[in-house]
């Protein structure tokens, strides 16, 4: 399983465009779809901060070990190493963006959940930039993050979006914690959890609370010619884009609109809108920084090792309610917010239960 940020149905739509003005994008999409990918199965640093009273606080924390390689427009991994922790800043903006966003993702998981890297034990964070020619995607292959530069007409590069980087690397977290089968509802949960952590990593880096956050995945990867904000929206699934070439964002926000399809591994990128919106509703009910309570509940659910790889929406919803009750109490505000979130998307009924 190689989970890429741009769903195949979107690339297929671009690939089918016949208008001469989009010929480059159509060719790039066809080339992107044709490439198959193989799935491959701590240091510390001093961090200084100032508390509310003005006192300087010094603490040690794990440090990321990043290594960025350049594929030099070829489809061969890993490419040539161009930046590590010991290297100076590169003259290549894409290299620096990838380096910085890997670091921001690492900081998010440590600060929010005390997780030392994707596997929890500080493994290297590897990435390759400039993959292929006009490659319209980014993916995590179980070993490294891989970024295409986009076709320049629809997509303008993927290493520049923190939510994209954190989304793809979060697939590694999901896989490390036991994984979720990449098909049907379990696959949609796999995508959704990665969307959740991707948006939270961006909110964490910006210091945004729930009301100020954009709740978008892939904001900024579209060119100015596209009528759209991002690939997906947690706050309003189905509204991320509405474009003559791309069509309209097909994500549902409620089980009554669940999409039954054989494509995209049973709609993993489409139906993820439902659990995405459940998380959004939970986080908005709780307010503040979404990673502190709502995000922690989702993380505890993932890392409890109680989910079967084939878990469906109802099973995951019940597990989040159990995690909220264990962390905050069965009658807590947090448990009520989780229940309300799943009721809001039609996965749970109005009678809360905690297993």
pLDDT tens for each residue of 334-347: 999 999 999 999 99
Count of CB atoms within 10 A of residue 134's CB? 19
Mean pLDDT of the chain: 89
* Confidence grade of residue 1 (pLDDT, cut at 50, 70, 90): low
Residues 107-128 have a mean pLDDT of 91
* pLDDT digits 0-9 by tens, 172-222: 999 999 899 999 999 999 999 999 999 999 999 999 999 999 999 999 999
Contact (CB, 8 A) for 59 and 37: no
List the catalytic residue out of 171, 269, 277, 289. 269
pLDDT at residue 51 tops 60? no
pLDDT at residue 30 tops 90? no
List the catalytic residue out of 168, 202, 219, 334. 168
Most confident listed range (53-62, 116-125, 128-137)? 128-137
* pLDDT digits 0-9 by tens, 254-311: 999 999 999 999 999 999 999 999 999 999 999 999 999 999 999 999 999 999 999 9
Residues 13-34 have a mean pLDDT of 77
- The pTM score is 0.84
Mark whether 168 is an active-site residue. Answer: yes
Mark whether 277 is an active-site residue. Answer: no
């Amino acid at each position: 399983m190689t989970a890429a940020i741009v769903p195949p149905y979107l690339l297929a739509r671009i690939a089918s465009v016949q208008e001469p003005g989009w010929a480059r994008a159509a060719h790039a999409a066809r080339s992107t779809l044709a490439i198959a990918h193989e799935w491959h199965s701590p240091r510390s640093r001093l961090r200084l901060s100032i508390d509310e009273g003005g006192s300087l606080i010094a603490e040690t924390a794990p440090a990321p070990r990043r290594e960025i390689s350049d594929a030099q427009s070829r489809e061969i991994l890993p490419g040539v190493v161009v930046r590590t922790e010991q290297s100076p800043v590169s003259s290549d903006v894409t290299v620096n963006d990838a380096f910085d966003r890997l670091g921001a993702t690492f900081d998010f998981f440590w600060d929010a959940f005390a997780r030392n890297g994707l596997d929890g034990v500080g493994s290297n964070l590897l990435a390759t930039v400039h993959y292929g020619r006009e490659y319209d995607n980014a993916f995590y292959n179980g070993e490294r993050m891989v970024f295409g530069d986009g076709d320049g007409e629809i997509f303008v590069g993927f290493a520049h979006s923190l939510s994209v980087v954190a989304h793809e690397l979060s697939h590694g977290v999901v896989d490390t914690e036991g994984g979720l089968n990449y098909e049907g509802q379990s696959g949609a949960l796999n995508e959704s959890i990665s969307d959740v952590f991707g948006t939270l990593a961006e909110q964490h880096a910006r210091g945004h609370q729930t009301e100020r956050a954009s709740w978008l995945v892939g904001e900024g990867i579209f060119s100015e010619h596209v009528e759209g904000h991002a690939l997906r929206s947690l706050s309003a699934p189905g509204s991320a884009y509405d474009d003559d070439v791309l069509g309209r964002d097909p994500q549902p926000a409620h089980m009554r609109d669940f999409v039954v399809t054989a494509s995209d591994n049973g709609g993993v990128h489409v139906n993820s809108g439902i659990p995405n919106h459940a998380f959004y509703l939970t986080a908005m009910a709780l307010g503040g920084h979404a990673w502190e309570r709502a995000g922690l509940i989702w993380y505890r659910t993932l890392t409890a090792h109680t989910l079967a790889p084939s878990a469906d929406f109802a099973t995951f919803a019940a597990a989040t309610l159990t995690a909220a009750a264990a962390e905050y109490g069965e009658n807590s505000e947090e448990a009520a917010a989780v229940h309300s979130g799943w009721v809001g998307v039609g996965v749970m009924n109005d009678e809360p239960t905690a297993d």
